[in-house]
Amino acid sequence: MFAFIVRRVFQAILVMVVIAFIGFSVQHSIGDPVRDMVGERVSLAEREALREQLGLNDPVLAQFGRFCWKALHGDLGTSYFHKRPALDVIVSKAPATLELVFGATVIILSFCFPVGIYTAIQPRAWFSRFVMAVSTIGVAVPVFLTAIVLIYVFGVELQWLPTYGRGVTVNVGGWDTGLLTADGLLHLILPSVSLASIMLPLYIRLIRSEMMEVLETEYIKFAWAKGLSRWRVWLLHAFKNTLLPVITVFGVEIGILFAFTLLTETVFQWQGMGFMFLEAVERSDTALLVAYLVVVGVMFVVINTIVDICYGLINPMVRIAGNP
Amino acid sequence: MKRVIMVCLALSLVLGGTATAEMKTLRLALASDPETLDIQQQLSGNMLEFSHWVFDPLVRYAQDMSFEPRLAEKWEQIDPLTIRFHLVKGVKFHSGNPFTAKDVVFTVNRMKQSVDFKGLFEAFETPVIVDDYTVDIKTNKPYSLVLNMATYIFPLDSVFYTGTDEKGQPKDAVVKAGYSFANETLPSGTGPYRCTFREQGVRMELERNPDYWDKNSPGNIGKVILTPIKEEATRVAALLSGDVDFIYPVPPQDFDRIDKDPKVNLFTYTGGRIITVQMNQNRLEAFKDPRVRQAINLATNNVGIAEKIMRGTATPAGQLSPKGYAGHDPALVPQYDLAKAQALMKEAGYENGFEASMIATNNRYVNDEKIAEAFAAMMAKINIKVNLKTIPKAQYWDEFDKQVADFQLVGWHSDTEDSGNFYEFLAMCPNKETGYGQYNSGNYCNPEVDRLTLACQTETDLTKRTAMLKQIEKILYDEAFCVYFHWQNHSYGAAKGLDVLPIVNVMNFPYIGDLVWN
């Protein structure tokens, strides 16, 4: 286990360096941050002076070296737009995104298992057919459209739910949370549902097909033959064995979930990292972009590590520790 | 920072608690919020709006573009280089410091240090204090736009912004990138609102200034909560659902919806931003021929674009200066005549047309991408095959400067609210040293236009000056130096009872301090 963790730490560092380097080498094609910092009429010479002062005219490698040196001291640069350390900006936006992903995950997990299992056991029931039909549409409709439709139906027409933002948040130990206020929770519903709408149909279909496959296997037939209770066969024997591929997919897809927060957050004016990222692209805030890429890179390594560890817990056959 | 917020919150509770009790709270949603708290660090529409909320200028534009006294109650020209301003007495900053002539001097000097403002204030000398309430604003040459520039002078609290801060940096420093006292501290101005809370990009709160000097201000909004909502559809939805009371801009596609909804009102007002396409004569020989440029203008149905694409939210243009500007000539109307355009092309020897590349933004101006597509289609009628590429604004301006295409789209709003500014940036011969013609990617160059424009800068006789500006506008129109599309209108969506029309203006800075909610 120790060797595994050490390997992962090295991987994380490598990922960070590579991402940061890519970030630096493409920053010129993202645009010129100085353009957004000054008014339209500011002369070329003034802009050039500002570029010089910010070190944007240095060779990419020199800029990259300076970035790495500062990064070793915990400084990922200063956002041009926010005029604060980039890491501070990202950390201040992280709770919003994490709560949104949490909300979506809760919705996905609480629906995908019961519905997935039911549709596998009763494939011919009208409810199963209905779910399959809806899930096809669900996979196909872009999240942007789902979000707008939800806003118009529940926000504008019915006026049940708020249309934008996070509502009232409270600060608990530096974490700005909307989970502890009624207003904050109401604001969370529409964005979470939109975000969940991408993954939920996929999981239901995945669990269903895996489960149906397992139900055909020899050992399930043997379990029936033994006269075990229905619930014991379905849940303990069949369902447990459908979990493995589901977890693999979940590990990969959680990254995609984060990617989709970009769209969801923009539509709902949800002040998280995804929104911040898109704004940074529009404003050519390259310092913030590079820092964001590095942070996201680390997050992915951590998520994948957790998934790998979970894997071993569920299926001892693929245990990682000690294996070459 | 937190401490400053707390102190200001406490102060506002003590000072403003009673006065604002019966006044209403306005929830305002804009596409974006002010970039910084230092009003002289960045020159942008957002920052100027913010300046009008929390500060007051010496003078401001009324709806008819005349000058309305603000902190300067009257003014007189005492010699060709000097205008004497008499300041309102008894005005206090939010910090409690009294406002006097020294604050005007401090502010003008600070603007001359700021990268964004120094170009505008090049002609200005350090103002001279006559007494506490009289100040002479001096220029180094006779200058016709002193009052226009005075709309940019929002006096800062010189006592508040002098000295060194906790980090040992001077409080008056103007810093583009990174920390500065003025960037991060809730400002002290004289304005109708004091800023009590700000989280960048998330929320800003403004409380009515109970000691506001202008007792004639009809404004009855006690508190403003500003939230930026970037996505157009969400901004409109927030208004329709009653989550916010006032939004702008309103996207053209939602005009009907807001108009029909009985709970909200739609307002539009003429704006000053002209949308044009420049034809690069250095890249394409054909563009050197005025007949070709005229043909292109004649083949552009800009009335149709304003009606169909902009849904009536734009005024078709045949010149640069919008109505109300000195150079505006009502005779220069947009023309659309396809037959004449084809005839001109034939006469110029381009009957079979040619191919031309074009770049345009796709997120900078209202419907910019659609306008460019429509233009490309219209050009096909006179056999010009346009290869259009649209680019996000973040990458656009570098390409624009490099002049990568034959047709290049550009919108311009005169930041002096004077016609001369259009000519200086868009029509004068490009000159790297003087900076004139900085956005003239068509490389149109006419010495007569240059001479007249420069003469207008120092001409203080308004009648003569207006005649010269109109003359320039006529030359540019006759020579079809660019393709004129339209002036973008401003659009506002507001809850019933908000009396928006009296507070809007050409610049798109609704004077929210004077907003009345019935």
Nearest neighbour of A83 by CB, restricted to B177, B230, B243: B177
**Inter-CA distances, B66 with B76, B151, B162, Å:** 15, 11, 34
Q: What ipTM does the predicted assembly reach?
A: 0.80
Whether the pLDDT of residue A189 is over 70: the answer is yes
A5: Cβ contacts below 8 Å, ≥ 6 apart: A305
Residue A70: inside a domain:
no
* pLDDT band of A316, cuts 50, 70, 90: low
Interface of A with B in 226-285 (CB under 8 A): 266-269, 271, 275-276, 279, 281-284
Determine the average pLDDT of the residues in B486-491.
92
Strands B59-61 and B264-279: unpaired
The residue-averaged pLDDT of B331-353 equals: 93
Within 8 A of B5 by CB-CB distance, chain A residues are none
Residue type, A99: E
Q: Which residues make Cβ contacts (< 8 Å) with residue B471, sequence separation at least 6?
A: B452
Q: For B21-90, where are the alpha helices, taking DSSP H only?
A: 45-54
Task: Pick the residue from chain A with its C-alpha nearest to B231.
Answer: A267
Nearest by CB: A80 against B177, B180, B237: B177
**What is the sign of the dihedral through the CA atoms of B288, B294, B295 and B301?**
positive
Average pLDDT over every residue of B410-419: 90
Q: Give B131's contacts (C-beta < 8 A, 6+ positions apart).
A: B101
Residue B20 has, within 13 A of its CA and on its CB side, a CA count of 24
Cβ-defined contact of A43 to B240 (cutoff 8 Å) = no
Q: Closest residue of B to A285, CA-based?
A: B394
Which residue reads 């109401």 in tokens?
Answer: A186
Under the banding of pLDDT at 50, 70 and 90, the label for residue B403 is very high
Instruction: Indicate whether A268 belongs to any domain.
Output: yes
Structure confidence at residue A317 (pLDDT): 65
pTM value is 0.85
Question: Dihedral of CA B367/B372/B375/B376: which sign?
Answer: negative
Q: Nearest Cβ partner of B241 from A155, A266, A271?
A: A155
Asked whether residue A157 is assigned to any structural domain, the reply reads yes
Question: Quick one: tokens of B46?
Answer: 């957002």
Q: Tell me the chain A residues in contact with residue B393 when contact means C-beta distances shorter than 8 Å.
A: 282
* Cβ proximity of A178 and A187 under 8 Å: yes
A313 is a domain residue: yes
A9 occurs within a structural domain: no
Strand partners, B486: B275, B316
The reply to whether residue A37 touches residue B395, judged by beta carbons under 8 angstroms, is: no
- CB contact at 8 A, B93 and B190: yes
Distance, in Å, from the CA atom of B79 to the CA atom of B61, rounded to the nearest integer, reads 24
- Do residue A159 and residue B398 have CB atoms under 8 angstroms apart? no
- Residue A39 contacts B, CB cutoff 8 Å: yes
Measure in Å the smallest separation between the Cα of A143 and chain B Cα atoms.
14
Q: What is the mean pLDDT of residues A119-148?
A: 86
Whole-Å CA distances, A122 to A133, A202, A240, B266 = 15, 18, 18, 54
**What pLDDT, on the 0 to 100 scale, is given for residue B284?**
92
* Residue A97 near chain B (CB below 8 Å): no
Instruction: Measure B44 CA to nearest chain A CA, in Å.
Output: 6
Q: Which residue of B has its CA nearest to A39?
A: B43
- Chain B contacts of A269, Cβ < 8 Å? 227-231, 234
Closest CB from B36, B231, B394 relative to A266: B231
Domain membership flag for residue A42: no
**Residue owning tokens 């003087």:** B434
Cα separation values, B427 from A290, B288, B406, B411, B412, Å: 39, 15, 17, 13, 12
Q: What is the CATH number of the domain that holds A164?
A: 1.10.3720.10
User: In chain A, what residues touch B183 (CB-CB under 8 Å)?
Assistant: 83
Q: Which of A312-321, B81-90, B199-208 has the lowest mean pLDDT?
A: A312-321
Domain span at A254: 86-322
Angle at A291 between CA A287 and CA A297, to 5 degrees: 150
- Give the CB-side neighbour count of residue B1, counting CA atoms within 13 A: 12
Check whether the bond before B249 is cis (ω within 30° of 0): yes
Q: B181: distance to nearest CA of chain A, Å?
A: 12
Mean pLDDT across B110-121:
90
A46 touches chain B (CB under 8 A): yes
Q: How far away is chain B from the Cα of A92, in angstroms, using its nearest Cα?
A: 11
Average pLDDT, chain B: 90
Q: What is the 3-state secondary structure (H, E, C) of A34-69?
A: HHHHCCCCCCHHHHHHHHHHHCCCCCHHHHHHHHHH
Percent pLDDT > 90 in chain B is: 71
Please give the tally of structural domains in chain A.
1
CA B409 to chain centre: 18
Comparing CA positions, the residue from A116, A120, A129, A114 lying closest to residue A215 is A120
pLDDT at B406 over 90: yes
Inter-chain CB proximity A38 and B177 less than 8 Å: no
pLDDT of residue B246: 95
Q: Shortest CB distance from B237 goes to which of A30, A42, A163?
A: A163
Look at residue B19 and tell me whether its pLDDT is greater than 80: no
Measured between alpha carbons, how far is A16 from A36 in angstroms, rounded to an integer?
Answer: 27
Say if residue B490's pLDDT is above 60.
Answer: yes
Per-residue pLDDT band for A318 (boundaries 50, 70, 90) equals low
DSSP letter at B424 equals: I
Under a CB-based contact definition with an 8 Å cutoff, are residues B81 and B128 in contact? no
Q: What is the mean pLDDT of residues B61-65?
A: 88
The residues, any chain, with a CB within 8 Å of residue A189's CB and separated by 6 or more, are A103, A161
